[in-house]
Amino acid sequence: MLELAGSRALVTGGSRGIGLSIAEALAVAGADVVLCHLNDGERAAAEAKRLSAKTGRKISHIDADVGDCDAARAMVAKAAELMGGIDLCISNAGICQFTPFLEIDSANWSKHVATNFSGGFFVTQRAAQLMAEQKTGGRIVFVTSVGAFRSNATQTHYCATKSGLHILAMGMAIELAPFGITVNCIAPGWIHTDINDAASRDTSAVENWIQWNCPAGRLGKPQDCGGAAVFLCSKEASYVTGATITVDGGWNAKL
């Protein structure tokens, strides 16, 4: 059985959705976890309390905007301070405002780039620096998207940021391997969370998508992503770096 006993994990976007499910899976496997979120303190506090009671691990939470360089770096340092170090960093925080390409204004574009792309860089670079100083190796996992490989109407800007993370992870995998730090990606397909709640409740759109795009025959759940994260963070995955695990019910495999 994969286990992470004694590991110290930071999960950005950990207050709900995919990040929360990954945090839960890591804590169940034995890791202490810091949940980073933006303006979601009440929920983060309640989930930290629940996870702590369920797993007996130390679960903390920090409110910080990953798209703000100074705030992101300070948040990572604070997370390491709370846990006495950092071994696992899951860069998951992200936004998606569905907008037709011709209507994407500069504020919308900049917000996606800052949160989804720059935020991933700010957080994981600081985490990697701390891991390198510790000399104990480490694990970095980006939650990208199948949108890193192909795009979609109203998600042009979003998919561009995810594609950026994909190649960022590959470069980091090369440079951080000598430090015993692996860098990998989880690319979810369509997972029902707050980010797409309206679309996920549109029964005919979902049925149509399942019929034409999803061999597994159902929408994804946040819990579908936890196992991939535990594996990539485990010692069994020490030779896996620069890789992506798609968690998409086969969507990306289809023509």
Structure tokens at 209: 């998508």
The yes-or-no answer on residue 158 being catalytic is yes
The yes-or-no answer on residue 162 being catalytic is yes
Give yes or no for residue 15 binding ligand NAD (CB under 6 A): yes
Give yes or no for residue 145 binding ligand NAD (CB under 6 A): yes
Number of chain residues interacting with ligand NAD (CB under 6 A)? 31
Between residue 200 and residue 239, which ones bind ligand NAD under the rule CB under 6 A? none
Structure tokens at 44: 């983060």
DSSP string, 103-147: G--HHHHHHHIIIIIIHHHHHHHHHHHHHHHHTS-EEEEEE--GG
The sign one gets for the Cα dihedral 250, 251, 253, 255 is positive
Q: Which residue among 17, 138, 164, 249 contacts ligand NAD (CB under 6 A)?
A: 17
The distance of Cα 254 from the centroid of its chain, to the nearest Å, equals 24
| Closer by beta carbon to ligand NAD, 134 or else 196 | 196
| Segment near ligand NAD (CB under 6 A); pick from 32-40, 177-185, 206-214, 233-241 | 32-40
For residue 239, which phi and psi values (nearest 5 degrees)? -105, 10
| Segment near ligand NAD (CB under 6 A); pick from 23-31, 48-56, 63-71, 166-174 | 63-71
DSSP three-state, residue 196: helix
* Shortest reach from residue 165's CB to ligand NAD, in Å: 9
Q: How far apart are CA 196 and CA 232, in angstroms?
A: 26
The yes-or-no answer on residue 54 being catalytic is no
Give yes or no for residue 188 binding ligand NAD (CB under 6 A): yes
Residue numbers of the site for ligand NAD (CB under 6 A)? 12-19, 36-38, 40, 65-67, 92-96, 115, 119, 143, 145, 188, 190-191, 193-196
